[in-house]
Structure 1
């Protein structure tokens, strides 16, 4: 199933169960937007921030040596942002107003992330399975400037000059 369709159905189910939920974003770990039910500009910016937050969370978990990163909760004066990994290449963020059962919402977020991440990973397999280079291919060799034809070399030096020291 398409990650966009999975995200839509999952978000509809979450909205029914958690009316405090205001939106969600599925972002790639590279910060690009995959799916969202937020306005486009907000979602694009939030996707980049979510990926950065995920990277920091992973790095923190690595540094303290306490196991894998599971989720993070950002508490604001008017609500929460729950971030959790979704498969190998995506991150899910849920935005909500203050909620009574935050632990329950975090658990639901991890379940949605698991399903959405599986859909995205399966969708991405076709792209990731393509081999870009052959394992036995030689590395590229750099051509020295002296061997290039004269028309390919610069005829005059660049305008940039080193500043005085």
Structure 2
């Protein structure tokens, strides 16, 4: 059985075991969709949003120095959306119904699925010729170059290059 089939089986199995889970998405930390068992929502959009949520949560956890990111929980009036890290470069996102009473039991089972699917994905990436490097958690968000250090030919001219057309 190939990796895609195993990941799909893991996601569908979680939905069968937990009727309160209405959909699952496995995505890369870059926001690209890996696998989905999400019937009613666009999985590619949810994958991108999960990556953004993970990035923010990871950065907050790193800033407050209270341990590693474990999950992100978004509660809504109709249920919740939970995102877990899955291996080094993947995320497992669950969409649940409002009847989720025992969220801690869901976390335990979902973390196990995230671990298995993430390990499988990491193994698959190591086997490929191009493996994505792990992002540096302590890297600055942006680097700016002062204008004074740029070569003269790269600096903007003081004259505007665009003029408003006559009316």
- With normalisation by structure 1, the TM-score equals 0.74
| TM-score of the pair, normalised by structure 2 | 0.73
Residue 88 of structure 1 aligns to a residue whose secondary structure is coil
Q: Displacement of 1:10 after TM fit?
A: 1.5
Matched with 2:54 is 54
| Helix, strand or coil at the partner of 1:85 | strand
Alpha-carbon distance in structure 1 between the residues aligned to 2:96 and 2:89: 24
Alignment partner of 1:29 is 2:29: yes
Q: Which residue of 2 aligns with 1:110?
A: 111
Q: Assess if the C-alpha contact under 8 Å between 1:26 and 1:91 holds in 2.
A: yes
* Gap regions ≥5 residues in structure 2: 132-159
Question: For 1:105 and 1:42, how far apart are their aligned partners in 2?
Answer: 23
Question: What is the SS of the residue equivalent to 2:42?
Answer: helix
Which stretch shows the higher mean deviation, 16-25 or 31-40? 31-40
The root-mean-square deviation of aligned C-alpha atoms, in Å, is 2.1
* SS at 2:7 equivalent: helix
Q: CA deviation at 1:163?
A: 4.9
**Distance in 1 (alpha carbons) for counterparts of 2:3 and 2:65:** 32
CA radius of gyration, larger in:
1
Report deviation, 1:100.
Answer: 1.2
SS at match of 1:54: helix
Q: Which runs of 4+ in 1 moved over 2 A?
A: 1-4, 126-130
68-77 or 9-18, larger mean C-alpha shift: 9-18
Corresponding residue SS for 1:25: strand
Corresponding residue of 1:78: 78
The count of residues paired between Structure 1 and Structure 2 equals 135
